[in-house]
Amino acid sequence: MDRLLKDLNEAQKEAVLSVEGPVMAIAGAGSGKTRVLTRRIAHLIDNVGVPKDNILAITFTNKAADEMKTRIASLLSMSTYRMWISTFHSMCARILREHIEHLGYTKNFQIIDDDDVTQMIKIVMKSLNLDVKTIKPNKLKPHILNLKSAPETIESYGEPLATYLHKVFPLYQKKLKENNLVDFEDLLVLTIRLLEEQPQVRKHYQQQFQYLLVDEFQDTNNLQYDLIRLLSDEKGNVFIVGDEDQSIYAFRGANIDNIRKFNNDYKNVKTVLLEKNYRSTNTILKAANQVISENKNRIEKTLHSTRGDGEKIRYFKGYSARDEVEYIADTIEKLHREGYAYEDMAILYRANSTSRMFEEGFMHKRLPYKVIGNTSFFKRKEIKDIVAYLRLVVNEHDDYSFRRIVNEPRRGIGATTVEKLANYCDNEGFSHYEAIEKTTLPVSGAPAKKLKAFKNMIETLQKRLGQVDFNVFLDDLLDLTGYKKALENDERGDVRYENIQELKTMLKETENTYATTDKETLLTYVLEDIALKSQEDEKIDSDAVSLMTLHAAKGLEFPVVFIAALEQGMFPLYRSLESSKDLEEERRLMYVGLTRAQQRLFLTNAKRRQLYGESVANPDSMFLKAIDPTLMKLEGLNREHADNEVRYTRDYNRTKRIRARRESLNSYTEKDLNKGDKIVHKAFGEGVVVSVARDQCVIAFSKEHGLKTLMKNHPAIVKKEE
């Protein structure tokens, strides 16, 4: 036991050793939560005597799951092969692979990714003669996925969306099942349905999973929360690690209230605060604590560092966005000369569009950079094409894959032929593949011959799959399909071919990992792995400065971090200023950005910048004003006047005093908005305050704008004097 606990602090030890009943570890940024999770699993196996198959650990990325497996294997000198350490989606895929027949699917189902869903919706819309321009498939997609878990909400949609959803949703569901396909939302929804409808299956997994551990609990959505509830038995041995202050994925469906819900649904929850930070300096953490402390209804914690105070935060303000880019580029060059690698540095921003000015500036200065969030390896066209061929080899009734590659590369099977085939199949109930041999097929002549040649080619590949190893099989596929020859005439053919060759590595790794020698089963596992990983960005190892949004930075850390465009409207976004809930999410995003920095932190903005073709002058971000100026060294326009730091500190202290005074009042003062007050809004015109609650108010404007719920201190609101 000493070996597992010796380098843990007291709070971490408590989290590791509290094994019975529900436990909630509130883990601040950089507090060693992965260490706690892996040590807890090792403790359960090595000291408590829990078999490794009786532990379920869930995290949010395959990378995090692999890291946990590697650490546990090292701690216990044991194989973590097939341990239940995975993402939610991987766990569900594994459960469904064993039991999905209860739901009317077969075990060789295939998983389609986000891009495939869009294409499938487009196919369904065309089959229904719906105009894909009036409402685009991509706009329908989130609503269709939401309806999977709440089909009754379809009645709440307005027109024309409701008409489209009423037609497209049931047919989309029907097409998926007919083709033995599931999307990512299905992985969760079908697993919940399986556990609810099949008591024996639910009991089996409740008995198997004696201990459950869930990482990044603040990022769970309602379906994921329901899954945990269904898998945990009456003992409630559930250990969650989360941090409300890092909940930044509401737009993906993450429900920050799940942490509070956990406290209500499980009895006698033990709470452990992990507040010791091993990543950042105290100066950085003080700034982060000050920013996030302005959010209400959070579990209080204060991060403190083991790394000393470190250097002051640099706050640079330029006259223009160009000045801001120049300052960051020059600072990066200086830091590189001092010994920092380019990959040690990251520039974070709120909106993707902000990257353009840095890309242009860095190209001009020949600074190496990488934009995190580029197209994933698994979403590249050539990979998706070959995966579609592999899917069809495994499941010849997969109409979606059939349609993707029946004329890829071009083999003279045009869109008209495919549409005739699809309409015939819809009417007769055949799959595209089996319909090719039917005498009643409304396709004749050269197109019919080409369809039969395509079918013969797939049959040849099916035979070859069982005869040769995967490397040879992939080469045969490229030759037989004509794909390799087509790449020879592609200007990027060499790169695309190298990408396809990388699939051989995956195929070989799978062949070495699984005990079975059945090639079809192995290929099914490979396709499942590809589908699950297609949701994650490819890994980039080059020595270059990272450019990324603050959302993309979650889970990462860098010795040097720049947070750019810190202006009101840029960050926080304008639209968040009218909702306290949205503003708190923006504040959590700032907290995440600040705590990515290990040693050096730079905050930057500009007096003026070009935005959507116009020159605008935004005020400094409110997040800057939340940070004690004594923690910062001011640069750029901030240093134009000798007394600037004094004034900045005075303004900061005055803001703090006003905020404290307002929060201490039991009633509103004459300067606050009260019910009945008349106001003027910059965009909505004159209005009357209808009601006031805490920091929000409801204002009635003209009929054109109606009722609006706004922040009381919204800069666009001016109270009219009587």
Catalytic residues: 33-34, 215-216, 246, 596
Measured distance between the N- and C-terminal CA atoms of the chain, rounded to whole angstroms:
73
Number of DSSP helices (H) and strands (E) in the chain, helices first:
27, 24
**DSSP strand pairing (345-349 vs 23-27):** unpaired
Q: For residues 138 and 117, is the Cβ–Cβ distance under 8 A?
A: no
> Please, what is the Cα angle at 516 between 513 and 520, to 5 degrees?
100
Q: What's the rounded Cα separation, in Å, for the pair 42 and 55?
A: 10
Distance between CA atoms of 165 and 512, rounded to whole angstroms? 45
Q: Name the strands in the sheet holding 55-59, side by side, starting at the edge strand that comes first in the sequence.
A: 84-87, 55-59, 211-214, 238-242, 23-27, 270-274
Cβ–Cβ < 8 Å for 634, 624: no
Residues 6+ apart with CB under 8 A from 449: none
Q: Are 43 and 16 in contact (CB under 8 A)?
A: yes
Q: Using an 8 Å Cβ cutoff, are 600 and 311 in contact?
A: yes
Integer CA distances (angstroms), 163 to 131, 155, 233, in order? 12, 10, 42
CA angle 272, 276, 279 (to 5 degrees): 130
CA distance 409 to 331: 49
Phi and psi based region of residue 123 (left: phi greater than 0; alpha: psi -120 to 50; beta: remaining): alpha
Contact predicate 656/626, CB 8 Å:
no
